[in-house]
Structure formats: C-alpha cells, structure tokens
Amino acid sequence: MSSAACIFCKIVKGDIPSLKLFESDKVLAFLDINPLSRGHALVIPKHHGEKLTDIPDDALTEILPVVKKLVKASGAENYNVLQNNGRIAHQEVDHVHFHMIPKPNAEEGMS
Ligand code: 5GP
Ligand code: ZN
C-alpha cells in the first residue's frame, strides 16, 4: 500500500531520488536529506502507514535488524534511534520512519 502524496512512498518508488543504504521487499534505508550528523539514516517500511500503530507486525519486525546493520556499518559507538509519531511529537513526514543518528566522538565533526 502506498500514498500518492507521500514523499517517502515516492522515494520507495524511485520517483524522488535518495541515497539508498539497504533495500529488501519490505524495508528501505536511505540517508536523511538534512542530517543531524554524518551517517544520519532513515529506515522505513515500504508499506505506507502514518504512525507506528498503522504498520503490520511483519513489516515492523524487519526494521530493527536493519537499524542494527546501519549502526555497525557506521562504526558509531554512540548513536540515537528515534521514531516520532504525530506533530506534537515532532513527526514531519507522515510515513513511519526510524532515525539512526550516529553521535561522533568529541574530536570529530560532521565531515
Ligand atoms: P521526522 O521529523 O518526521 O521524524 O523526520 C523526517 C525526516 O525526513 C527529517 O530528518 C528530514 O530531514 C527527512 N526528509 C524529509 N524529506 C526528505 C527527502 O525528500 N529525502 C530524504 N532523504 N529525507 C527527507
Ligand atoms: Zn508513504
């Protein structure tokens, strides 16, 4: 299921370009266009759903292993995994997504 107006559904279809990091039948991971740190990635179910509670369990169970792969690939020892639901909770894109935000060590910057 996809939503015609949804940016992330357009990314899934390839109608909007993205820097893909991982893809399977149910999951896509790509770099955030406005990263909070180097390697800031988004992991989404391909199934369109606005909030966590809208996504079928079988699509959700594949997400965290992908987040884990991205953490390992980034080499980060410190990182945040975030998932926002609803405007008041800072959700801007209404397609479920998990942020993986590596936290650089103090001596490292964005580059
Ligand atoms: P939210 O606040 O909804 O949890 O986060 C949405 C995230 O999606 C933001 O970090 C934003 O930079 C990212 N984003 C919005 N539009 C695009 C886009 O077209 N491409 C990519 N790669 N990321 C996007
Ligand atoms: Zn969508």
pLDDT digits (tens, 9 = 90+) for 37-85: 999 999 999 999 999 999 999 999 999 999 999 999 999 999 999 999 9
Say if ligand 1 is within 6 A of residue 6 CB: no
Share of the chain above pLDDT 90, in %: 87
Say if ligand 1 is within 6 A of residue 19 CB: no
Atom of ligand 1 nearest to the CA of 16: 19
Distances 44 to 15, 51, 104 between C-alpha atoms, Å: 16, 11, 23
pTM (predicted TM-score): 0.94
Farthest-apart Cα atoms in the chain, separation:
44
Taking a C-beta distance cutoff of 8 angstroms, is the pair 82, 68 a contact? no
Active-site residue flag, 97: yes
Ligand 2 geometric centre to CA of 36 (Å) = 22
- Could you tell me the pLDDT band of residue 2, with boundaries at 50, 70 and 90? confident
Q: Within 10 A of 87 (CB to CB), how many other CB atoms are there?
A: 9
Residue ranges and CATH numbers for the domains of the chain are: 7-102 (3.30.428.10)
Per the prediction, the chain carries an average pLDDT of 94
User: CA 53, CA 34: separation in Å to the nearest integer?
Assistant: 26
